[in-house]
Structure 1
Amino acid sequence: MTKMLASVTGTEEAEIAIACNVDIIDLKDPKSGALGALPTADVRALVAAVAGRLPISAVCGDLPMEPDLIRAKVEEVAAAGVDYVKVGFFPSGKAADCARALSPLARQVKLVGVLFADKEPDFGLLPVFAECGFHGAMLDTAVKNGSRLLDHMPPAGIPDFTKICRELGLMSGLSGSLEAPDVPRLLPLKPDFLGFRGALCGETGRTDGIDAEAVRQIRALIPEERQAEGRSSVDYRLLAARGYSPGAADATHGTDKIFVRDFVLPVEIGAYSFEHGHTQKVRFDVTADVLRVTNTPEDMRHVFSYDVIMDGIRTIVAHGHVQLSEALAEHVAAHVLEDPRVMRVTVRVEKLELGPGGVGVEIERRRAKEQSRALPAKAAGDAAIPVRVQKGQAS
């Protein structure tokens, strides 16, 4: 499951994070850059104050790519007693040498290499991290000017990062001015952790103190599993984006219709030879009937995000050529039905460049009621019942 990392600057903020059940405490000075480091004495004091209640990571600062300099700083931070040390890797011909210089330290502390989505991140460093014994890798943003991770790397590109990390045995993390609406968009990509700072500070900005209510709102968006009275306690209503059955979802609240209309993308699609080797405009219309969590929605905890639908379409399209409009519609429907709150979805796919009007297909898929109560969402989605297909001319 995806864990929540909260960046804090001192003991008071650490106590707020612990009280709000975050999973990892991250020590940094946000006034000193993306990976601004706290004084080592402060790191040591915070480790003592947390006293093993949660794992702790600490950053090394925005350092130049000089192997000896980086190794010395990592040794210093590791000696303060943290569980993870995060090291920034900026574009440089020496980046791989810096990683290799840290290889001996990987046996002493869990190293996390940080790449920056706004600095042309080199995914070729990921195998180097694995070779050198790093524990994980992370995508962040270097410039904190209000732009977010998803402004520099769309969801369709992030699965490459998480997939490579999984194949290499590296823990994967995503950060970079993430906000509450980003959480349901990123959870389906299955990172091992999501990192937050600015979103935890309410309206005040990342350099001010964190706010307990803001931390609780982010925490509630990320499925939480913790031990209570000797057994696992899971809020299944919050597991929707990770493919679990809603369990206690209350159908008495009824459903809402969440829709995406007139969403046009260039798509490599078509069975004819003249349709291969180039894109054509395709319009998507998607409507999902979604179980309500509450009759008084107030924030992202209470809704199904239409961004999840659009991100899914972009990701499916990015996979390459699709022979049939029917197949494309089925992929989109299956993606939407992965969320167990979705009871029914209608998908319309129209090719716009084959004549004076649109041609394509409209399908409706419905979750099997008995399976939606008992099965994980992916399994229930696989068992979705086909209801109606409407076609234009040949796909």
Structure 2
Amino acid sequence: MTKMLASVNGVDEAEIALTGGADIIDLKDPKAGALGAVTIEIVRQTVATVAGRRPVSAVCGDLPMVPETIRAKAEEIADAGVDYVKIGFFPSGDAAACAEALAPLAKRTKLIAVLFADLKLDLDLLPVLAKNGFHGAMIDTADKAGGRLLDHMPPERIPGFVNRCREAGLINGLAGSLETPDIPRLLPSGPDFLGFRGALCDQSQRTASIDIEAVRQIRELIPEERPAGNASSVDYRLLAARGYSPGAADPTLGTDKIFVRDFVVPVQIGAYSFEHGHTQKVCFNVTADVLRVTNAPEDMRHVFSYDIIMDGIRTIVARGHVQLSEALAEQVAALVLEDPRVMRVVVRVEKLELGPGGVGVEIERKRAKEQTSSLHPPAPSHGGGLHGRDKKGASS
């Protein structure tokens, strides 16, 4: 399950984050840069206050990539009693040497390398980190005024980072001026944690104090694990990783139609030999019937976002060549129906470059009855996936 990391500046904010349900308490000074470090005394005080209720991490600061400088600071923070030490890896020819210098410390403390999406992101560093005993890696942004994570790293590239971390045996995390609409877009990739600062603060100002209601809103958008021994390890209300909204949907409120219309993407598609080796424009039209949670939606907790559909299409397309339009439509339909509130989806896939008009396929898929009945009251899904019928077919 994905955990929620809350960045705090000391004891008082740590208590707020704990009350709001954060999984990891992360110490940093937001006024001192992307990875501004708090004093060692604040680290010790916060570790003592948290007292094992949650893991505590702390950043080393925006340090130059000098092996001995980074090693000394990381050791100082580790000795203050934190569970994780976060070290920024800025683009440098000395990055591997810095990782090697930290190898002895990695044997007794969990080290997390922080890479930056808005700088020269080098994912080839991941196996080097693993070789030197690092516990994990995360992607952040260095310039907080220069855009969010998804402005620099589109959603279809996120699974690549997550998978490469897993292949290297590293836990992985995502941060970078994340906002509430980003959460349902990032959860499908299955990161180990999502990190927040600005979204937790009053008016989303990262240098302001964190706000308990903002913390709770983020918490409600991220699935939580149930205590061991429960019938299900995951709260069914929170299973909708693609467009999550809290609480069991109420069928008496009816459905809304969420749609993506005339979404044109270059796709490697086609069964003919002349269609291989290049992309062609494909137009997607998707309409989803979504059960309402409330008749008075106020924020991302109450909606199914159309961003989920567009991100999903981009991610599917990024996997490589697809032989058939029908196969592409089925993949999109299955992705949308992963949200337990989606009752029905219509997907139209239209190839635009094979003649004077468009050709393609339109399919309709519905949620299985046993899945629909489990939505209210909450209960674990019984499987059964999808069923439906093609409304219109065309040559692929």
Shared fold (TM-score, shorter chain, > 0.5): yes
Q: For structure 2, list consecutive stretches of 5 or more residues without a partner in the other structure.
A: none
8 Å CA contact 1:286–1:346 kept in 2: the answer is yes
- Work out the CA distance in 1 between the residues paired with 2:20 and 2:183: 17
Cα deviation code 1:316-337 (max 9, x no counterpart): 1111111111111011111111
8 Å CA contact 2:374–2:380 kept in 1: the answer is no
Distance 1:340 1:357, change over 3 A: same
> Which residue number in structure 2 is paired with residue 388 of structure 1?
390
- Work out the CA distance in 2 between the residues paired with 1:223 and 1:99: 33
Pairing of 1:239-258 with structure 2 (within 5 A):
239-241=239-241, 248-258=248-258
Report the alpha carbon displacement of residue 389 of structure 1 after superposing the two structures with TM. 3.4
- Work out the CA distance in 2 between the residues paired with 1:172 and 1:377: 29
Pairing of 1:144-293 with structure 2 (within 5 A):
144-227=144-227, 235-241=235-241, 248-293=248-293
8 Å CA contact 1:338–1:381 kept in 2: the answer is no
Report the alpha carbon displacement of residue 238 of structure 1 after superposing the two structures with TM. 2.4
- Work out the CA distance in 1 between the residues paired with 2:282 and 2:204: 42
Report the alpha carbon displacement of residue 294 of structure 1 after superposing the two structures with TM. 1.7
The amino acid that maps onto 2:393 is K
Report the alpha carbon displacement of residue 226 of structure 1 after superposing the two structures with TM. 4.1
8 Å CA contact 1:237–1:293 kept in 2: the answer is no
- Work out the CA distance in 2 between the residues paired with 1:125 and 1:377: 42
> Which residue number in structure 1 is paired with residue 332 of structure 2?
332
> Which residue number in structure 2 is paired with residue 83 of structure 1?
83
Distance 1:22 1:226, change over 3 A: farther
Q: Aligned with 2:25: secondary structure?
A: strand
8 Å CA contact 2:371–2:384 kept in 1: the answer is no
Segments ≥4 residues shifted beyond 3 Å: 226-235, 246-249, 371-382
8 Å CA contact 1:368–1:380 kept in 2: the answer is no
RMSD value, Cα: 2.4
The amino acid that maps onto 2:77 is V
8 Å CA contact 1:78–1:109 kept in 2: the answer is yes
> Which residue number in structure 1 is paired with residue 345 of structure 2?
345
> Which residue number in structure 2 is paired with residue 27 of structure 1?
27
Q: Aligned with 1:269: secondary structure?
A: coil
Q: Aligned with 2:155: secondary structure?
A: coil
The amino acid that maps onto 2:387 is I
> Which residue number in structure 2 is paired with residue 307 of structure 1?
307
Q: For structure 1, list consecutive stretches of 5 or more residues without a partner in the other structure.
A: none
Distance 1:243 1:229, change over 3 A: same
- Work out the CA distance in 2 between the residues paired with 1:110 and 1:324: 46
Q: Name the TM-score, length of structure 2 as normaliser.
A: 0.94
Cα deviation code 1:334-376 (max 9, x no counterpart): 1111111111110000111111111110000111111344599
The amino acid that maps onto 1:47 is V
Report the alpha carbon displacement of residue 237 of structure 1 after superposing the two structures with TM. 2.1
Report the alpha carbon displacement of residue 386 of structure 1 after superposing the two structures with TM. 2.4
Distance 1:229 1:209, change over 3 A: farther
Q: Name the TM-score, length of structure 1 as normaliser.
A: 0.94
Q: Which stretch has the larger CA shift, 377-386 or 352-361?
A: 377-386
> Which residue number in structure 1 is paired with residue 7 of structure 2?
7
| 1:92 correspondence with 2:92 | yes
Paired positions, count: 394
8 Å CA contact 1:117–1:140 kept in 2: the answer is yes
- Work out the CA distance in 2 between the residues paired with 1:25 and 1:157: 27
8 Å CA contact 2:202–2:208 kept in 1: the answer is no
- Work out the CA distance in 1 between the residues paired with 2:287 and 2:76: 54
> Which residue number in structure 2 is paired with residue 364 of structure 1?
364
Report the alpha carbon displacement of residue 298 of structure 1 after superposing the two structures with TM. 0.7
> Which residue number in structure 2 is paired with residue 298 of structure 1?
298
Cα deviation code 1:5-47 (max 9, x no counterpart): 0000021111110101110000000111111100111111111
* Identity value in percent: 74
Report the alpha carbon displacement of residue 75 of structure 1 after superposing the two structures with TM. 0.2
Cα deviation code 1:122-169 (max 9, x no counterpart): 111111111111111101001110510000001100101101111222
The amino acid that maps onto 1:83 is D
8 Å CA contact 1:290–1:342 kept in 2: the answer is yes
8 Å CA contact 2:86–2:114 kept in 1: the answer is yes
Distance 1:164 1:191, change over 3 A: same
